[in-house]
Structure 1
Amino acid sequence: MQLTNYPWKFIWRFLLQKFLHLFLLLLAVSVLTFVLVSLSPVNPIDAYIGSDVMRVGAEQRALIAQRWGLDQPMTTRFFLWLGQLLQGNLGTSITYNQSVSEVIGDRFGASLALMAIAWLLSGFFGVILGILAGAKEGSLLDRIIRLYAYTLASAPTFWIALLLLTLFSVQLQVTPICCAAPPGVLLQDVTIWQRLQHLVLPALALSLMGVANIALHTREKLIEILHSNYALFAYAQGETITGVIWYHGLRNIALPAITLQFASLSELFGGSVLAEKVFDYPGLGNATTQAALRSDVPLLVGIVFFSALFVFTGNLMADLAYQVIDPRIRIGKSAS
């Protein structure tokens, strides 16, 4: 009975350490984001007023500053925000005049569909291309895949997005040029086909970057496996390279692939900011850009806060997935 319960002690300790790290991470990113945005040269009052900035007098500017608490020192505003956060309130967005929670909730639904498609495509095609390149080491196919991966790994997301937009939307005219719905159509009236049409280019722009990294790492790991002693022994027993990959390679290349796949969530979130801006896609990335341009401190801090939770969840899922894929690294296994 004691041996049965023993590993759970390590699991709870592991989860406790993870959530402690999460608390420290959220505190650090909140403070840093709040300070950096507050010190931004963008005047939040001017950004709030917009094009009518020359028509607004000093009294009206003072009222606007008082309305959003901009007349308070930075430290005072931070502790007021922290007090609201402890009550479950992320504050009110200056840009959208809504609670930050509502803005994130409304926008994240659109971004989630975009990032989920890009995440699945990058993982699937990255592993496939990595296996093909590793199995055909030194061949023409291997060189083509490596050239593709190295080229895209060094290319900015917004540049890839602009190329795709120019090719498919402007020249070929086979995909919509922007947005998440046809002009004049409400989101609730958009069909699944229309939604997929507007998702395909942003998702493709995001997935191309993830494919390159996963393909390169999968290739290197597979080459290492195919040159290992147990693979050479399998060849001597008459096993084919396909059999070695199937019986010995897949499980061993799965761990680094999963690590990269879940670790790419932060890059995926950052890339979505640029991709959504290029395609004018109304997701969380677009809201991040607007918050930065308007020095919307509550919204930007809330989005950074939420993105940290998002990335932490992905990393935690990767750690837990390890226990299923490779029993040798299960928590508490060596101690028991």
Structure 2
Amino acid sequence: MPPVVRFAVRRLGRAVLTLWFASTVTFLLLRLLPGNPALAVESPNMTVQARNILLHQYGLDQPLLTQYGKYLWQLLHGNLGVSFTQQVPVSSVLLARLPWTLLLTGSSLLLTIAVGIPLGVLAATRPHRVLDRLVQVFGVGVQSLFVPTVGIFLLFVFGLQLHWLPIGGAYTPGVYGGAWYVSVLSHLVLPCVSLMLVQLGSYALTLRATLIESLGEDYTVLANAKGLPRSKVVWKHALRNALLPTTTLVGLNLGYLVGGAVLTETVFAYPGVGRGIYEAVTQLDYPVLQGAFVLLAATVVLVNMLTDLAYGVLDPRVRTA
């Protein structure tokens, strides 16, 4: 079997085990939440008998092991169940919210990379100077920030005080055509910047450290000795190897990005999967919570697997490890 195929098979097997573990932990933790899911949908005049019938319909009167087996069987068939409170398939609930979460996280990640790489390059090419010190202080500072705190601060300043940007939602109701796209972008700015700021430091500082190391390697010293322009040595020769750890960082930070999106969507009432999780927790809607966490876990696992494969292509030594 070729090394690339063997490497891909190993990563795929690891991804499947990780997804199973995440699904199992999610199932068990939800059963530890206080409260009864039937209480979220029962009427004030519901009798004990009617409540028991409701629990039977939900399958919550069955032994835990039976519920777990049914849950796994449904997952294997791509069935996430039916929402307790909305009485519609969980897949429909999540698919309606997923595009907004993808828009938020994707925009935030692209913006982080677009800003973080130039910052890292600027700091690495001017080591121990004023600009380098500023980037290091800024990078460490933003890494210590809490996403909701950043979101609330930006919302207060730019939404409530300056009135420059909307304070919540994903778009303004009643607008169509080009105005709708402008509305979507204006509503995206604050949550996107909130997520970007807390990630920016890790990308900039990681690239700074690896690029400084690359600039001291023999091949860059030789390129300088040949008289190549400094910018070409940095951007064409040194940066390629320096980006390898940054590529891995994308996968490692994805879990933090997804978790940050859940909190950010809650702060800004952004109608993504994260906001749906918050609403489902208040209603003890087990199927929606299970489906949402499985979806997010699958996304993180998939991106991490693709990151590993990309790293293996960029660095052949990884494929034989």
- Structure 1-normalised TM-score? 0.87
Aligned to 2:25: 32
Displacement of 1:163: 0.9
Displacement of 1:283: 0.3
Displacement of 1:218: 0.3
Q: Give the one of 237, 255, 279 matched to 1:290.
A: 279
Displacement of 1:19: 2.2
Conservation of the 8 A alpha-carbon contact between 1:263 and 1:314: no
| Aligned equivalents of 2:194, 2:278: Cα separation in 1 | 18
Displacement of 1:282: 0.5
Q: Letter of the aligned partner of 2:30 in structure 1?
A: V
Displacement of 1:236: 4.2
Alpha carbons of structure 1 residues 13 and 129: separation in structure 2 relative to 1, 3 Å: same
Aligned to 1:106: 96
Q: Letter of the aligned partner of 1:47 in structure 2?
A: A
Alpha carbons of structure 1 residues 299 and 63: separation in structure 2 relative to 1, 3 Å: same
| Aligned equivalents of 1:233, 1:16: Cα separation in 2 | 39
Aligned to 1:157: 147
Tell whether 2:203 aligns with 1:211: no
Aligned to 1:10: 3
Conservation of the 8 A alpha-carbon contact between 1:292 and 1:300: yes
Displacement of 1:331: 4.2
SS, match of residue 72 in structure 1: coil
Displacement of 1:83: 2.3
Alpha carbons of structure 1 residues 124 and 95: separation in structure 2 relative to 1, 3 Å: farther
Displacement of 1:202: 0.9
Aligned to 2:50: 60
Alpha carbons of structure 1 residues 34 and 176: separation in structure 2 relative to 1, 3 Å: same
Tell whether 2:88 aligns with 1:89: no
| Aligned equivalents of 1:263, 1:250: Cα separation in 2 | 20
Q: Letter of the aligned partner of 2:103 in structure 1?
A: A
Tell whether 2:44 aligns with 1:44: no
Alpha carbons of structure 1 residues 189 and 301: separation in structure 2 relative to 1, 3 Å: farther
Q: Give the one of 284, 291, 302 matched to 1:302.
A: 291
| Aligned equivalents of 1:190, 1:302: Cα separation in 2 | 34
Q: Letter of the aligned partner of 2:23 in structure 1?
A: S
| Aligned equivalents of 1:306, 1:187: Cα separation in 2 | 31
| Aligned equivalents of 2:275, 2:165: Cα separation in 1 | 20
Conservation of the 8 A alpha-carbon contact between 1:181 and 1:187: no
| Aligned equivalents of 2:71, 2:142: Cα separation in 1 | 41
Q: Letter of the aligned partner of 2:195 in structure 1?
A: L
| Aligned equivalents of 1:17, 1:330: Cα separation in 2 | 12
SS, match of residue 299 in structure 1: helix
Q: Letter of the aligned partner of 1:106 in structure 2?
A: A
| Aligned equivalents of 1:302, 1:98: Cα separation in 2 | 13
Conservation of the 8 A alpha-carbon contact between 1:165 and 1:201: yes
The sequence identity of aligned pairs, in percent, is 35
Unaligned 5+ residue runs, structure 1?
Answer: 1-7
Displacement of 1:55: 4.7
5 Å-filtered alignment, 1:139-218, equals: 139-182=129-172, 184-185=173-174, 191-218=180-207
Q: Letter of the aligned partner of 1:245 in structure 2?
A: V
Displacement of 1:285: 0.8
Displacement of 1:201: 0.9
SS, match of residue 89 in structure 1: coil
SS, match of residue 191 in structure 1: helix
- Structure 2-normalised TM-score? 0.91
Stretch moving more, 286-295 or 110-119? 286-295
Displacement of 1:31: 1.3
| Aligned equivalents of 2:225, 2:178: Cα separation in 1 | 62
| Aligned equivalents of 2:176, 2:72: Cα separation in 1 | 34
Stretch moving more, 65-74 or 120-129? 65-74
Alpha carbons of structure 1 residues 330 and 17: separation in structure 2 relative to 1, 3 Å: closer
Residue by residue over 1:262-318, the C-alpha shift from the partner in whole angstroms, topping out at 9 and shown as x without a partner, is 332221111100000000000011112222333322222212221222112212322
Q: Give the one of 16, 19, 39 matched to 1:23.
A: 16
Tell whether 2:107 aligns with 1:117: yes
| Aligned equivalents of 1:188, 1:307: Cα separation in 2 | 31
Alpha carbons of structure 1 residues 174 and 321: separation in structure 2 relative to 1, 3 Å: same
Unaligned 5+ residue runs, structure 2?
Answer: none
